[in-house]
Amino acid sequence: MKSKQILKIIVDILMTVTLLLLMAYSLVYGSNPAVGEAVHEWLGTGMFVLFVLHHFFNRKWSFSVLKGKYTPYRVVQTILVVLILLTMCGSMFSGILLSRTVFSFLGIRGGQAAARTLHMLSAYWGFVFMSLHLGLHWSVMMGMARKLTKKSSKVCKWILRTIAALIAVYGVYAFIKRDFGNYMLLRYHFVFFDFEELLALFLLDYAAIMGLFVYAGYYISVLLTGRYGKKKR
């Protein structure tokens, strides 16, 4: 595997881990809110840097947006990229307005309520869009994994598919349990945390929710590209 591909994989893994830690917010940092907000800001800034690096490594795709034929898959892929860009910019812009540490030197005051609303919308919708985007490219990552290992047997494939389905089912449960949809629809204007809860359990639920949308994104890509039909014929 080329060094560029390895770097791309590392950046994508770091983005995934950072995204989960950002969603955990206060649970990651303990009971000191000042420390918690500071670390959250640094993680958010790091996420934006990783996002820029991700697009730098995939700049050929960006430069070809206005070229070539648009298949249904490419249309959905491009829409998702635009939505992710919008939510990432929304998170960064609102984060700067709310910043008390990293960007405090800018001396920005006011608009806190609107910034919090934008930040919540961008965070939760961005989480879903990024997970769907990951799912659209899941077959590519599986192809890379197969190159590093021997081709798996049919039994192994069905075991992995079963595990993926179970994760998606648990993701539905976690989605409801965590009121994820209510945050997306702004039915709550503040995120509520149980500070007695183990961080691992919180991350497990959010990883399952991510898995749910990765699963959905993968099968959307299968339907759009017709891979399922080709396999059945």
From first to last of its 233 residues, what are the pLDDT tens digits of the chain?
Answer: 678 888 988 999 999 999 999 998 777 665 555 557 888 899 999 999 999 999 999 999 989 998 999 999 999 999 999 999 999 999 999 999 999 889 988 888 778 899 999 999 999 999 999 999 999 988 776 666 566 555 556 777 788 889 999 999 999 999 999 999 999 999 988 888 887 788 889 999 999 999 999 999 999 999 998 865 444 33
Burial of 67 per CB tally in 10 Å (0-12, 13-18, 19+): exposed
What residues contact residue 46 under an 8 Å CB cut-off, 6+ apart?
18
pLDDT attached to residue 229? 45
- Long-range interactions of 75-83: CB distance < 8 A, separation 24+: 76/136, 76/220, 76/224, 77/133, 77/136, 80/129, 80/132, 80/133, 80/136, 81/133, 83/125, 83/129
pLDDT attached to residue 165? 94
Q: What span, in angstroms and rounded, lies between the C-alpha atoms of 218 and 216?
A: 5
pTM: 0.88
pLDDT attached to residue 82? 96
Are residues 219 and 139 in contact, defined by beta-carbon separation less than 8 angstroms?
no
Token pair recorded at residue 45: 């800034």
Q: What span, in angstroms and rounded, lies between the C-alpha atoms of 20 and 25?
A: 9
Token pair recorded at residue 143: 């192809």
Q: Which amino acid is at 131?
A: S
pLDDT attached to residue 209? 98
pLDDT attached to residue 138? 84
Helix and strand counts by DSSP (H, E) for the chain: 11, 0
